[in-house]
Amino acid sequence: MVASNSPDSSRRRVVITGMGWITPLGDDIEAVWQRLLKGESGISPTELFDASTFPTTFSAQVKGFSLDKYLGADAERHRCGSRNTQFALAAAKMAWTDAGLDRFDGLDPTRAGIYLGGGEGPIDFFNFVEAAVRAWNREANGGRGDLDACKWAEVAGQKLDAVREFEQDPNMAAGHIACQFNVQGPTFNTLTACAASTQAIGEAANLIRRGDADVVISGGTHSMIHPFGVTGFNRLTALSTRNDSCITASRPFDRTRDGFVLGEGAGMLILEEYEHAVRRGARILAEVRGYGSTADAFRITDIHEDGRGGIAAMRLALEDAGLTPADIHYISAHGTGTEENDKIESLAIASVFGEHAKKVPISSVKSMFGHLIAAAGAVELITCVLAIRDGILPPTMNYSVPDPNCPLDYVPNQARKARVDAALSNSFGFGGQNDTLVVTRI
């Protein structure tokens, strides 16, 4: 374990004992990890809806998903759950089993909690549009084009599934997980855009540290590959439009980058108080050592040009961990592939790490996974744990033209062997949310 300025010894320690994910590259931890190390891409032409007339016609989709595979007969009672809820259930099941909690009968359900970063699943978009069009009565409303509320109630009642519409609430994934695993302790959901699951894991660790829980299912889930989601990001000019070469479209830190690739999926981790894990003989994968959370307080869709929020989050996480920049052996970057994000994240890393900045390897698995929005931080933290375990760093793919504004080591195009005792993971979200985690070998 890394030993440097160790934090308060009286503080309850938090460890990771289980992991699971649903990703565009698959669901098996080991198989997906090997695909990442080989630089394989989960990006392809969009199939979840007809995107042929959109500026961006591709995405990073989860294909062939069925909840039955993970929950068997229990899947039926969660069938009403939206796509992101079902992803969350599947990833939670894998993490729960990976942690050996399915074989442990000594868990106090009131001492187990849930803290997720969760976003909306796609509503029944086409039925929604049909109901809206049929309720749009220009003649009856004097040509103003107003929505006839009475007509809407009539048509929506015929076309929309009320239960599924209700299931769009962000907390539904946590509710389904609580029911499935009989988790009766504190349950929270945060929706801080692209930083949501990193923030959820950090807050879950604090929940355990202060003694409010012994075990927490934490991570994130998101699915917004639907016309509303893609339209919104296209209008923000945030998505890559490299339709002729979608597999290489996600190019974090490369000078030719033109935006991120929208993805979907879920990542779940079992966080556990160290002594609790030891008593039940759990396999301990890593320790959650530090957490920092800040807001830019600047603009809703722009990062502060000095990177002040990211700088502060990284410094807080290092301080919380009792580590120095020189103790960090790997950084999992937010690394979206947008011009602004990559430039300012590089600036922030350089500011925090100083002379060490050019020595610490950095990579972005979004070059292969796409951007899983609220689930991104969780799946990226899992890759940090695997890098610590195996002594190898995933590459940043599609990096070919260096950018003078991004002058650091981004592990370009090929996995790299390296001993990792401590890794730092960044997530920065729309609205100016910045969250950083530090995980270490134990």
Q: How many CB atoms lie within 10 A of CB 1?
A: 11
The DSSP letter of residue 156 is H
pLDDT band with cut points at 50, 70 and 90 for residue 54: very high
Is domain 14-122+167-440 annotated with CATH 3.30.110.30?
no
pLDDT for res 239: 98
Q: How many CB atoms lie within 10 A of CB 113?
A: 25
Query: Is it the case that residue 166 has pLDDT exceeding 70?
Result: no
Q: How many CB atoms lie within 10 A of CB 410?
A: 25
pLDDT for res 139: 56
Given a contact cutoff of 8 angstroms between Cβ atoms, the answer to whether 382 and 369 are in contact is no
Catalytic residue among 222, 226, 334, 406: 334
Range with lowest mean pLDDT among 159-163, 205-209, 250-254, 269-273: 159-163
Mean pLDDT of 29-58: 97
**Torsion-angle region of 261 (φ positive above 0: left; ψ -120 to 50: alpha; else: beta):** beta
Q: Tens digits of per-residue pLDDT, 382-408? A: 999 999 999 999 999 999 999 999 999
Q: Is 334 a catalytic residue?
A: yes
CA dihedral 78, 185, 193, 407 (to 10 degrees): -120
Q: Tens digits of per-residue pLDDT, 190-201? A: 999 999 999 999
Q: Tens digits of per-residue pLDDT, 97-131? A: 999 999 999 999 999 999 999 876 556 677 777 88
Q: Which two tokens stand for residue 415?
A: 């996995």
Q: Is 356 a catalytic residue?
A: no
Q: What is the largest CA-CA distance in the chain?
A: 74
Q: Give the CA distances from residue 290 to residues 155, 177, 320, in Å, rounded to whole numbers and listed in that order.
A: 52, 26, 5
Catalytic residue among 246, 371, 384, 406: 371
pLDDT band with cut points at 50, 70 and 90 for residue 188: very high
Exposed (0-12), middle (13-18) or buried (19+): which is 352, by Cβ within 10 Å?
buried
The DSSP letter of residue 9 is T
Catalytic residue among 78, 176, 194, 406: 194
Percent of the chain, pLDDT > 70? 93
Spacing of C-alpha 116 from chain mean position: 10
Q: What is this structure's pTM?
A: 0.94
Query: Is it the case that residue 298 has pLDDT exceeding 60?
Result: yes
Given a contact cutoff of 8 angstroms between Cβ atoms, the answer to whether 332 and 267 are in contact is no
Angle at 349 between CA 357 and CA 334, to 5 degrees: 125
Given a contact cutoff of 8 angstroms between Cβ atoms, the answer to whether 421 and 2 are in contact is yes
Single-letter residue type at 175 = G
* Residue extents of the structural domains in the chain: 14-122+167-440, 125-160
Return the beta strands (E) in 274-312 as ranges: 286-295
pLDDT for res 8: 63
Query: Is it the case that residue 2 has pLDDT exceeding 50?
Result: no
Mean pLDDT of 247-267: 98
Query: Is it the case that residue 140 has pLDDT exceeding 90?
Result: no
Query: Is it the case that residue 96 has pLDDT exceeding 90?
Result: yes
Helix/strand/coil percentages in the chain, nearest 5: 40, 20, 40
Q: Tens digits of per-residue pLDDT, 212-232? A: 999 999 999 999 999 989 999
Mean pLDDT of 125-140: 74
Q: Is 384 a catalytic residue?
A: no
Helix axes 339-353, 308-321, angle to 10 degrees: 40
Distance between CA atoms of 305 and 82, rounded to whole angstroms? 37
Pick 114 or 78 by higher pLDDT. 114
Nearest to 401 by CA among 251, 242, 268, 266: 251
Spell out the SS3 assignment of 13-61. Answer: CEEEEEEEEEECCECCHHHHHHHHHCCCCCCEECCCCCCCCCCCCEEEC
Q: Tens digits of per-residue pLDDT, 305-336? A: 999 999 999 999 999 999 999 999 999 999 99
pLDDT for res 3: 43
Distance between CA atoms of 54 and 241, rounded to whole angstroms? 9
Mean pLDDT of the chain: 93
